[in-house]
Amino acid sequence: MSNDLALVFFILFVTIALFVSDRLRLDLIAILVILTLILTGILTVPEALAGFADSTVITIAALFVVGAGLFRTGVADAIGNRISDVAGTNEVRLLVVIMVVVALLSAVLSSTGTTAIFLPVVISLAWTAKVRSSKLLMPLAYASLVGGMLTLIGTPPNIVVSDYLASQGLEPFGFFSFTPVGLVMLAITVIYMVVLGRRLLPVRTARVASTQPIDASDAPSLGQLADSYGLSQQVFRLRVRRNSPLVGKTLAQSALTTRYGVNVLDIQSWPPDRRQPSPPRSVGPESYIDEHDFLRVQGDSEAVTRMAREQSLGIRDAEELGGRFLAEEQGLVEVIVTPRSRLDGRTLKEADFREKYGVTVLALMRRGERLADDLSTITLRFGDTLLVQGSWEQIALLDRERRDMVVVGQPRELIERRKTTAKAPLAILIMLGMLVLMTTGVVSTVTASLMAAAAMVLVGCLSMEDAYTSISWESIILIAGMLPLATALEKTGGIDFIATRLTSGLAGAGPLAAMAVLFLLTSLFSQFISNTATTVLVAPIAYQMAISLGVSPYTLLMTVAIAASTAFATPIASPVNTLVFSPGGYRFADYSRVGVPLLVLILLATLAVVPIIFPL
C-alpha cells in the first residue's frame, strides 16, 4: 500500500468518524475534505473542485427547485388533503394509503420535502382517526425512503450509480429501470408494516403540543387553538395616552416584552381628528408608537395592568385571542422546530425570529408542557412547538418554510385559506414534461431537470428567491465534496485495492455473495452517514468487483442503489427519520427494532429479484 493510498484511507476514516459524531455540519466536513485533498497534494485544485460541475450535483439542485414548485402551487398539499377522503379512520387503511401515496410522491420529489409536507397531514389524520401518531410517522419515513427506489430521480444514489455507468462508457440506467425492483420493495415494506411492523411500533404520546385535523370542519378555531395554550383570555386593547413615556419610541426601544412579558400584536392609529381609525397594522421592532394609538397586546392580566399603570395606558377592553380581527387580518399557527434547524440551540432573540419572519411567538411548549419563562431567553430545541401570530401573508410564508420549521397545528381559518393556486396545472404539466423527456431520452437527465426548474420560475410557480431558498445547499456541497474523495480513491488505487480484497475474500463464493456483501456494506454506512456520500464511495468498488468477478455491473450497482435507500435502523440515518423522531415520541432503539427486520427482508428480496431483472 502506497503512502498516498494510506493517507486517502485515513482521510476516509476521519470523514466517516466526523459524520457519525455529528460534531460538525455535513457540508463543512465536505469542504474540509476538499481542502485536505488539495493541501496534501493528492488531487489538483481542478480535480478537487470538479464535483461542483458534476452532472449529478446539478441535477439534484434542479430537482429541489422542481419539487418546490409543486409545493408552492399547492399540488402536494392538495394530494395530501385527499388522503382522509380515501382512507377514512381505519388504522390499517390509513397506513397503506399513506405509505403508497408518500412512496409515489417520493419517486419524483425530494424524500425530505415529501416527509415535511406530509408530517402535519399524518399527525392530523392520526388525531381524527384517534390513532397514536407513533403508529403512522415511522411508516411515513420508511415509505419516503423506499419511494426513492422507484425512479431514476427518486433519490440521489440512483443518479450517482447511473452517472457512474455513463462515465465508464456504458448505457446508464433509464428513468424506469428502477421501477420493477422498487415496486417489489414497496410491496414488501407495506406488507411488513401491516403484518408485523405496526405491532413493533411503540404506542407513545407525540412530543408536540397538539395535533389538530386538517379538515376545516373538524379543525379548531383560532380561539380554540389559543385556548390549548391557555391564552384565550389574555388579549387586551390599550390606548396610548398623550403623556405616555412610550410616545415616539419604537417597540424595540420600549422593550415591553422584556420588561413585562407582554407581546404587542398590532397597532391601530386613531388620532382625534379622524372619525374612523386606520386599519390595524402588523408590527416589528422598528414600529413607532404615537399618542392615541391603540395597542393590541397579549400577556398576563396582572402584567398588562402593571404596564398600563406604569406607561400611562388606558385599558379599553379585553377579548379572546382569535376574535373577528384575528380571523380576518391576523392568524395563529403552531410550528415545530425541525432537525438540523438553524433555530436549534439558539434563542428567539439570537435567531432574530420576529425580524426574520415577521411573526410574534406567543407561547412555547416542550414535550407537551408550556414553558412560562421569558420566551426570548429560552434556548430552542429540536421538537419544540411554537404558537406564533402574524398576518395571514406572513403565516403563508411561514408555512412554506421547510428547513427550520414545519407547520403542525393548522387552525380552521388557515385551512380555509390554503387553496391550490391557479399555477397548479402548470406545475403538473412541467413535472410531467420533465418525466417524459427523461423517459424518452430526448435530452439528458440533467438537461431535462434544468429545463423543468427554469420553466417553474418562468411561468411563476415560484420566484428566483424561492428557487434559491428551496435548494438544500448542505446536500449540494456534501455531494460535491464527497465526489473528489471517490476520485482520490480511484487515483491512488484505493478502489482497486478494496475491490481486490473483497473479491479475493469472496473467491468461490459466487456473485450472490458479492451482492450480499455490497448490500450490507452500503446499508451499514448509510445508517450513520449520508446515503449519497456512501454511494459515491461504494459505486466504483461495485464496478471493479463486477469486472473482477466477470458479472454484470448493472446487477451490482443496482444492489448498491437499493441498499443506499435502506436507512431504516437509526434516527440519524436519514433526515426523514430524524424529522419524525420527536413528533412520533420515538426512541433510538425503536428504529432498530422496526427497521432491522425490514432491512433483512429487503436484502433477501434484492438477492432474489435483482438477478432476474438484471441478469448476472
**Residue 553 has which C-alpha cell?**
455491473
Specify the amino acid at residue 102.
V
Give the Cα separation of 77 and 414 in Å (integer). 13
pLDDT score recorded for residue 495: 66
3-state DSSP percent of the chain in helix, strand and coil, to 5: 60, 10, 35
> Which pLDDT band holds residue 602 (cuts at 50, 70, 90)?
very high
Q: How far apart are the C-alpha atoms of 539 and 543, rounded to whole Å?
A: 6
Beta bridge partners of 369: 366
How many other CB atoms are found less than 10 A from the CB of residue 616?
A: 18
How many residues are listed for the chain in this entry?
Answer: 616
Phi, psi at residue 297, to the nearest 5°? -125, 155
Q: Which of 94, 118, 96, 91 has the alpha carbon at shortest distance from 106?
A: 118
Average pLDDT over residues 267-277: 69
Residue 524 forms part of a structural domain: no
Q: What is the pLDDT of residues 205-223, one digit of tens each?
A: 544 333 343 444 444 555 5
The mean per-residue pLDDT over the stretch 420-447 comes to 80
What is the DSSP track for 129-162? HT--GGGTHHHHHHHHHHHTTSSTTSSHHHHHHH
pLDDT at position 223 is 57
pLDDT in tens, 345-369: 888 878 878 777 777 787 788 766 7
pLDDT at 444: 79
Neighbours of 266 (CB within 10 A): 22
* pLDDT greater at residue 57 or residue 318: 57
> How many other CB atoms are there within 10 angstroms of residue 347's CB atom?
15
Q: What is the pLDDT of residue 584?
A: 76
| Residue 553, pLDDT score | 92
Q: Residue 340 pLDDT > 70, yes or no? A: no
Q: What residue type is assigned to position 224 of the chain?
A: Q
Helices (H), 418-509: 424-440, 445-458, 464-470, 473-491, 494-505
Same domain, 309 and 349: no
**Inter-residue contact 409 to 22 (CB < 8 Å):** no
Contact 31, 477 (CB under 8 A): yes
Residue 314 and residue 240 in one domain: yes
Q: Which of 452, 380, 407, 344 is nearest to 121 (CA)?
A: 407
Asked if the model's pLDDT at residue 143 lies above 70, the reply is yes
Whether 237 and 313 share a structural domain: yes
Please give the Cα distance from 248 to 246 (Å, whole number).
Answer: 6
The Cα 490–Cα 42 span in angstroms is 11
For the segment 575-579, the average pLDDT, to the nearest whole number, is 68
Contact of 452 with 64, CB cutoff 8 Å:
no
Does residue 146 fall inside a structural domain?
no
Confidence of residue 528 (pLDDT cuts 50, 70, 90): low
Comparing CA positions, the residue from 117, 131, 45, 47 lying closest to residue 87 is 131
| HSE value, Cβ hemisphere, 13 Å, CA-based, for 486 | 24
Cα(523)–Cα(530) distance, integer angstroms: 11
CATH number where 389 lies: 3.30.70.1450
- Burial of 171: CB neighbours in 10 Å, binned 0-12, 13-18, 19+: exposed
Tell me how far apart the terminal alpha carbons of the chain are, to the nearest angstrom.
31
So what's the pLDDT on residue 320?
46
- As separate numbers, helices (DSSP H) first and strands (DSSP E) second, the chain gives 29, 10
Average pLDDT of the chain? 78
Q: Judge if 293 and 350 occupy the same domain.
A: no
Bridge partners, 239 (sequence order): 294, 314
- Angle among Cα 371, 387, 473 to the nearest 5 degrees reads 105
Residue 3 has pLDDT above 70, yes or no: yes
Candidates 87, 86, 100, 94; CA nearest to 190 is: 100
- Shared domain for 242 and 315, answered yes or no, is yes
Please give the model's pTM, rounded to 2 decimal places: 0.57
Is pLDDT at 559 greater than 90 in this prediction? yes
- Kindly indicate the confidence band of residue 146, based on its pLDDT and cuts at 50, 70 and 90: very high
Cell of 152: 431514476
Q: What is the DSSP letter of 279?
A: P
Cβ(235)–Cβ(319) under 8 Å? yes
**539: which residues sit within 8 A by CB, 6+ positions away?**
160, 161, 164, 486, 557, 560
Q: What is the pLDDT of residues 30-66, one digit of tens each?
A: 899 899 999 999 999 999 998 888 877 787 788 778 8
Residues 397 and 374 in one domain: yes
pLDDT digit string (tens) for 603-615?
A: 999 999 999 999 8
Cα four-point dihedral sign 384, 386, 392, 398: negative
DSSP of 18-75, one letter per residue?
HHHHT-S-HHHHHHHHHHHHHHTTSS-HHHHHGGGG-HHHHHHHHHHHHHHHHHHTTH
Tell me, yes or no, whether 311 lies in a domain: yes
User: What is the identity of the amino acid at 9?
Assistant: F
Longest dimension (CA), the chain: 96
Report CA dihedral (67, 72, 76, 77) to the nearest 10 degrees: 160
Who contacts 541 (Cβ-Cβ below 8 Å, separation ≥6)? Answer: 495, 498, 499, 502, 518
Let me know if residue 299 belongs to a domain. Answer: yes
- Answer whether residue 87 is part of any domain: no
* Per-residue pLDDT at 131: 79
**Distance, CA of 170 to CA of 164 (rounded, Å):** 9
Asked if 311 and 238 sit in the same domain, the reply is yes
Q: Is residue 510 part of a domain?
A: no
Residue-number span of the structural domain to which 341 is assigned: 330-409
> Cα–Cα distance between 78 and 421 in angstroms, integer?
10
Q: Letter for the amino acid at 106?
A: S
Name the residue with higher pLDDT: 227 or 184.
Answer: 184
Q: Are residues 347 and 404 in the same domain?
A: yes
In sequence order, the 6+-apart residues with CB closer than 8 A to the CB of 300 are 234, 261, 262
Highest mean pLDDT among 130-144, 503-517, 576-590: 130-144
Residues 401, 344, single domain; the answer is: yes
Asked if the model's pLDDT at residue 299 lies above 80, the reply is: no
Contacts of 72 (CB under 8 A, 6+ apart): 400, 421, 423, 427, 461, 462, 466
In a domain, residue 304? The reply is: yes
Among 409, 430, 460, the domain-final residue is 409
Read off the amino acid at residue 437: L
Closest CA to 522 of 542, 547, 503: 542
Final residue before a domain boundary, out of 267, 297, 319: 319
* Residue range 179-207: mean pLDDT, rounded: 86
Q: Are residues 302 and 342 in the same domain?
A: no
Query: Quick check: is 501 in a domain?
Result: no
What digits encode the pLDDT tens for the residues 451-466? 999 999 999 888 887 7
- Give backbone dihedrals phi and psi of 341, rounded to 5 degrees, phi first: -65, 145
In this structure, the answer to whether residues 275 and 353 fall within a common structural domain is: no
Cell digits for 463? 420566484
pLDDT value at position 227? 61
Burial of 80 (0-12, 13-18, 19+ CB in 10 A): buried
Q: What is the DSSP string of 79-102?
A: HHHHHHHHHTT-HHHHHHHHHHHH
Provide the pLDDT confidence category of residue 294 given band limits of 50, 70 and 90.
Answer: confident
Question: Mind listing the pLDDT tens digit for each residue in 148-181?
Answer: 899 888 888 898 899 889 988 898 998 889 999 9
Q: Which of 409, 436, 468 is the last residue of a domain?
A: 409
Q: How many folded domains does the chain comprise?
A: 2
pLDDT of residue 494: 76
Q: What is the pLDDT of residue 603?
A: 95
Shared domain check, 339 and 301: no
Choice between 182 and 225, residue whose per-residue pLDDT is larger: 182
